[in-house]
Structure 1
Amino acid sequence: MGPPIMHTKQVPMPVCRYEVLAGGPQGPPVLFATIGQMVYHKWTCESSEENQFCMIVHSCIVDDGHGDRVELIDEQGCAKDKHLLQNLDYISDLMVGKEAHIYKYADRERLFFDCKIVLSIKEPGTEFCPVPECPDPPRKRRHLKEKEKKNNFILKNKKEEKIEEIYLALIIVAILLIRDGFKQFNL
């Protein structure tokens, strides 16, 4: 009796997408938002092969476009500041999401949101993909001088009655294709 025959098959990589949605995971894409508005951050990957891949979202930063960057999710996939973004919910092997309020830098019209996605091959015979095990995120402590100097995030605009519209500029670490009001990329 000879060695077992190994069958191989080339499987196309999943196509992944990041969306900011209104009203939850099934809501419409948000193109403009107001400070304090609740939105749903959603990362999904679609594969032609069922039950083959796992995904982890990690290393998320927000950038004002002028060099001010704040880490929201660390390299292990854990939230850094509970007031900006909580730990992500892993809904399925290829879907991750979380509700959060819109915020912005003072005197900046746009925010650039940048995350990385790791795709891995699912271990044969396993029911669930491994997900980050994260403690509850802390509230970042900011020194008063740092607040004055950097003019950090405003979670709610209490100073003005007029609600300010901001444009959500979404950037993912990948090649972006703009289609139908959301951004899609191929890994």
Structure 2
Amino acid sequence: MSKSFLDAVKARRTFYGLSKEIVVSADKVKEIVGEAVNHTPSAFNSQSSRVVVLFGEQSDKLWSITKEALRKIVPAENFAATEERINGFANGYGTILFFEDQTVVKGLQEKFTSYADNFPIWSNQSSGMLQHVIWTALVEQGLGASLQHYNELIEAEVAQTWQLSGDWKLIAQMPFGKPTFAPGEKEFMPLSDRVKFF
């Protein structure tokens, strides 16, 4: 029996401990991503989200790029902790890269000038929904994941390495794999401070 939607949402947590052990096939990950990209809403049905999925050595390459970019800006005496964190992401089975196609965003800004300032915001909201849908679906399959944001540090090299359009703006990176340890307890602010009913 499958989990209810809200049970799946509750199970979605940040998993930093990952391994490369295959618990879900690459084909299943591709299916999840494809369904999510097709069915996650976007403003004006813009469909501006773009996704790249890296498996195995390709994922390792991404985290090597990230590590070397960080080496240039993190003081040497502090780099060991940074390297340990990046190696944790590289230990996963793969990484999903989330982009927003700026050609689509700019086209909508030109077509609907009254809403021009809102389209970048709506684009990011669409990307956030897509990230959540994919993340939750991966966890439901027994995978762990986290969401990372090394965007400006690696965007140019990522585009060059995987020959991606320069109009694709990198939004986030999601390393995933078999969880090696559970996340800690999560604390919640009182709902009365966050939600109002009238």
Task: Return the TM-score normalized by structure 2.
Answer: 0.26
Report the structure, 1 or 2, having the larger helix content: 2
Q: Which has the larger radius of gyration?
A: 1
Structure number with higher relative contact order (C-alpha < 8 Å, ≥ 6 residues apart): 2
Report the structure, 1 or 2, having the larger strand content: 1
